[in-house]
Amino acid sequence: MALNIMKILGVRIVTTIMATLTAALSIILINVYETQAIIIFSIEVILLPAIYIIGNYCAENSIKKEYEDLMKSLTKQTEKLKDDFDKVRMENIEFKTMLDINFGFEDEEEN
């Protein structure tokens, strides 16, 4: 679980770095090519949300995978506990039957 949290944190850090570099590069390009500033700014406005959307998608997939793995593990453990419970219950019924039979024989021997 801690590994997946670090993976999510890594995805978010990479996303932030990419967005920051994109913004910085856009500012530099806007200052260098002042006549093309509007087109560069338009490209930046399109790229930044796309970067964040892709980063969040990767983080959500990581969380989803962790959740699915956890649910599989819990389901397997629950099924094992149910099997153990059924086994103990059957043993209990067998012991109860043996006690009923033994008490029945003891009562007849005393009379």
Q: Which of 20, 37, 38 is nearest to 29 (CA)?
A: 37
pLDDT digits (tens, 9 = 90+) for 35-50: 988 998 899 999 999 9
Instruction: Report CA-CA distances (Å) from 37 to 23, 42, 45.
Output: 13, 8, 12
Provide the CA 55 distance to its chain's centre, in angstroms: 17
pLDDT digits (tens, 9 = 90+) for 35-91: 988 998 899 999 999 999 998 888 888 888 888 888 999 999 999 999 999 999 998
Instruction: Report CA-CA distances (Å) from 34 to 20, 30, 41, 83.
Output: 21, 5, 11, 73
Quote the CA–CA distance of 35 and 28 in Å, as a whole number: 13
pLDDT digits (tens, 9 = 90+) for 17-27: 999 999 999 99
- Asked if 61 and 7 count as a contact pair (C-beta separation under 8 A), the reply is no
Angle, helices 37-110/2-32, rounded to nearest 10 degrees: 170
